[in-house]
Amino acid sequence: MVCGGFACSRNALCALNVVYVLVGLLLIGVAAWGKGFGVVPSLHIIGGVIAVGFFLLLIAIVGLIGAINHHQVMLFFYMIILGLIFIFQFGISCACLALKTHKQESILSSTWNLLNDNTRISLENKLDCCGLFNKTESAELFKRDVENCSAPCTKTKIACLKCGVVLMEHADEALKILGGVGLFFSFTEILGVWLAMRYRNQKDPRANPSAFL
């Protein structure tokens, strides 16, 4: 069977969707890891990445079933939804890579201000740090956080790190991984649309010759 044949198109589409399943799981996992570290609970980009990963996982399963059964309707919706996911994922990935340090700090600060004292203390204990950023506009809050801090580092002679430094490190790492992986695999989704379109229009040699589909 030549590479442009029916079996080759089916196998290529199945293999691509297996990769999409793995990518979807990776995006969800990394985003959940970044969110679990307290990397800005209100950061909508993280939530957007989780949504993209979830829908990519769903559409990959639909694509696998459609490819195995040569199901015309499923393949049609697969092409449409995968094209929409490409647009959304491309935009989210660019946003992850383009989010500047000062913007991350601004979002972190605004979110930190919304947290109550107990939540901030719990986060400090989890990350072993005290306060967020010691800046002029938040000096009073930083001083109060340090006084209330009960992180393990306060029981040592070594000065505690600022939580902003710890969070920024994890945020930057998570955003770079998410942006890079998302951007790279967003272009493979164009290949998936093309393969599905090509495979959908090919005739199944095992099918009844008199059947329309």
Q: What is the mean pLDDT of each run of 10 residues along the chain (213 residues)?
A: 68 87 80 58 62 83 87 88 84 80 77 79 83 80 84 80 80 77 81 86 65 44
Does pTM top 0.75 for this prediction? no
SS (HEC) of 90-125: HHHHHHHHHCCHHHHHHHHHHHHHHCCHHHHHHHHH
Per-residue pLDDT, 1:
41
Per-residue pLDDT, 211:
45
Separation between Cα atoms, residue 190 and residue 162, nearest integer Å: 43
Q: Which residues pair with 129 in a beta bridge?
A: 161
Per-residue pLDDT, 30:
72
Per-residue pLDDT, 158:
76
| Of the candidates 155, 179, 7, the residue with the CA atom closest to the CA atom of residue 90 | 179
Separation between Cα atoms, residue 182 and residue 130, nearest integer Å: 33
- Structural domain boundaries in the chain: 8-99+179-201, 102-165
Which alpha helices (DSSP H) does the chain contain, by range?
6-36, 44-69, 72-98, 101-114, 117-127, 139-148, 163-200
| Of the candidates 132, 52, 66, 140, the residue with the CA atom closest to the CA atom of residue 96 | 52
Per-residue pLDDT, 32:
72
Q: How far is CA 135 from CA 105, 152, 164, 189, in A?
A: 11, 24, 11, 44
Per-residue pLDDT, 3:
53
Per-residue pLDDT, 59:
86
